[in-house]
Amino acid sequence: MIRKCLFPVAGYGTRFLPATKSMPKEMLPVVNKPLVQYGVEEAIEAGLDEIGFVTGRGKRAIADHFDVSYELEHQIAGTSKEEYLSSIRNVMAKGSFSFTRQPSMAGLGDAILQGRRLIGDEPFGVVLSDDLCVTEDGDGVLSQMVRLYKQFRCSIVAVQEVPEEDIHKFGVIAGEQIKTGLYQVNDMVEKPEAKDAPSNLAIIGRYILTPDIFTIIENTPPGKNNEVQLTDALLSQAKDGCVLAYKFKGKRFDCGSVSGFVDATNYVYENLYGK
């Protein structure tokens, strides 16, 4: 029922300079796999196999990653090295990949709006690949959210409790708990100061959005940092209808920060690599 997933990947990755000067931050490897591939695998596993990237200048390596590298395939055909390509071959066999560009860095809301033609008029997922999400039992965060969507048919944001000193880094929600770990959102603020935050439930980079969000974004003025914020559009959607916040099961690493990236690398190496 939900088939498509958008990946906004136009951001600069300044926190990883100089590594990201000529390489997309989404291509940084967590052990031996680029960050973005983890997100794409999570989407495909949830049944969202039409992947749309909202990309920008300097990001061509992402498109190349999800395409055949003819010379490489030719060189290693029939050798033991072929097994190193098995995960990406698997992703390529199951998914389709489309690309559009965000001409200017005008915020996450704007990035989603740029993806409108790739999505059309149907519900879709969004993955911010900086947030690497892993689960012990392999039931990915997007899979958990798709099941909820089937039940409630409205936009859903993934949330996690965060310590007070981290609140200013996130969109933060407030809501009425309708069952354990599930809230009907009635307030949402993008990157508030801790003292102004409506709760300690922070939005993590996994969303399911209903397509009316596009028109709402079009009518959403720039907010925090003078950028069009998805959080602001979702608050309008929540006021006129329903937006749910879901405290997901699993671990999340902030791979947009150096320390989160190192934690993710250690975790993946110790728990997932080679399994």
Please report, as ranges, the residues that interact with ligand G1P according to CB under 6 A. Answer: 108, 128, 131, 170-171, 190, 202-205, 230-231
How many CB atoms are closer than 10 A to CB 22?
8
Question: Which CB atom, from 118 or from 203, has the smaller least distance to ligand G1P?
Answer: 203
Distance CA 240, CA 93 (A): 40
What is the smallest separation between the CB atom of 159 and ligand G1P, expressed in angstroms?
Answer: 9
- Check if the beta carbon of residue 231 is closer than 8 Å to that of residue 116: no
* Bridge partners (DSSP) listed for residue 228: none
What is the smallest separation between the CB atom of 172 and ligand G1P, expressed in angstroms?
Answer: 8
What is the smallest separation between the CB atom of 71 and ligand G1P, expressed in angstroms?
Answer: 35
How many CB atoms are closer than 10 A to CB 95?
17
What is the smallest separation between the CB atom of 207 and ligand G1P, expressed in angstroms?
Answer: 9
Give me the half-sphere count of Cα atoms (radius 13 Å) on the Cβ side of residue 124: 25
- Check if the beta carbon of residue 155 is closer than 8 Å to that of residue 237: yes
Question: Which CB atom, from 13 or from 123, has the smaller least distance to ligand G1P?
Answer: 13
Question: Which CB atom, from 49 or from 187, has the smaller least distance to ligand G1P?
Answer: 187
Question: Which CB atom, from 88 or from 172, has the smaller least distance to ligand G1P?
Answer: 172
By beta carbon distance, the residue nearest ligand G1P is 171
Question: Which CB atom, from 134 or from 230, has the smaller least distance to ligand G1P?
Answer: 230
What is the smallest separation between the CB atom of 257 and ligand G1P, expressed in angstroms?
Answer: 10
Question: Cα dist. 109→62, 102, 117, 156, 193 in Å?
Answer: 21, 11, 15, 15, 21
